[in-house]
């Protein structure tokens, strides 16, 4: 199979990444519904709906904003502006969704942690989406730097590159299994599972960014890496706040 993978159906080229992206949203939500039915949810249905809406709004804004900030220095033209408006990133979506949930909970007065039920569905959704990223090859900015390593792959431009999407797929499988094990074997406080997920995933993404050919850097770090640091500072701040209460 050659990359980018661009199958045709009835004479039309199928955007495989877009198809898998929609599939990721659908299956992740169905998995969430399945888990919610199996486990007791201490948050009322109305409040849970408000939280989901807050997460969706925050994720939409965050994914677009961080996507644009990944490469803010562009030549202004109609084509580039349209391209920027279509850019999005899961990292901005996750952190934006986190902030959206916190704002929604403040508005409705909900004090219980709400993220644990979302953790495994989010991982499943990211996994399916990353398959689309890999199949898109160099059409999506999820490819890695050139490498002479045996891990190098031709992603569509005739150059051996780090297949960072595949690296992430392997990491996500390990993360899913690890968090399932922790959830089953240990009694976690509400919200701890989501915190473990965020710290693990953002830590991984901070490291993997060094293998990507980023062009816009601040102090040698990409926008995604700076966001990873912001996420860690956020959780450190929350931990310090709890210790002082």
SS (H, E, C) 154-217: ECCCCCEECCHHHHHHHHHHHHHHHHHHHHHHCCCCCCHHHHHHHHHHHHHHHHHHHHCCCCCC
237 lies in some domain: yes
Q: Is residue 43 part of a domain?
A: yes
What is the span of the domain harbouring residue 210? 8-244
pTM: 0.88
Per-chain mean pLDDT for the chain? 86
Q: Which residue has the higher pLDDT, 208 or 86?
A: 208
| 198 within domain boundaries | yes
Q: Examine residue 98 and state whether it is found in any structural domain, yes or no.
A: yes
Q: Is 54 among the domain residues? A: yes
* 151 domain-assigned: yes
Determine, yes or no, domain membership for 1: no
Give the pLDDT band (50/70/90) at residue 174. very high
Q: Copy the structure tokens of residue 126.
A: 């990211």
Strand ranges for the chain from DSSP E: 8-9, 12-13, 153-154, 160-161
Does residue 3 form part of some domain? no
Report pLDDT for 78.
Answer: 54
Tell me: pLDDT of 168 over 90.
Answer: yes
Total domain count for the chain?
1
């Amino acid at each position: 199979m050659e990359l980018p993978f661009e199958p045709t159906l009835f004479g039309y080229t199928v955007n495989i990444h877009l198809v898998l992206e929609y599939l990721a949203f659908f299956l992740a939500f169905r998995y969430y519904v399945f888990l919610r039915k199996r486990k007791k949810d201490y948050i009322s249905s109305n409040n849970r709906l408000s939280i989901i809406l807050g997460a969706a709004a925050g994720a939409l804004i965050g994914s677009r904003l961080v996507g644009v900030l990944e490469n803010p220095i562009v030549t202004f033209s109609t084509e580039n502006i349209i391209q920027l408006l279509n850019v999005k990133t899961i990292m901005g979506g996750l952190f934006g969704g986190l902030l959206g949930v916190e704002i929604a909970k403040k508005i409705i007065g909900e004090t219980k942690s709400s993220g644990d039920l979302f953790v495994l569905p989010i991982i499943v959704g990211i996994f399916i989406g990353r398959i689309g990223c890999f199949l898109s090859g160099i059409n999506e900015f999820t490819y890695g730097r050139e490498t002479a390593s045996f891990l190098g792959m031709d992603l569509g431009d005739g150059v051996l590159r780090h297949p960072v999407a595949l690296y992430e797929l392997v990491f996500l499988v390990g993360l899913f299994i690890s968090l399932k094990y922790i959830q089953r074997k240990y009694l976690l406080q509400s919200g701890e599972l989501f915190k473990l997920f965020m710290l693990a995933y953002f830590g991984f993404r901070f490291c993997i960014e060094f293998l990507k050919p980023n062009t816009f850097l601040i102090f040698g770090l990409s926008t995604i890496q700076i966001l990873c640091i912001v996420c860690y500072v956020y959780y450190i701040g929350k931990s310090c706040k709890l210790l002082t209460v």
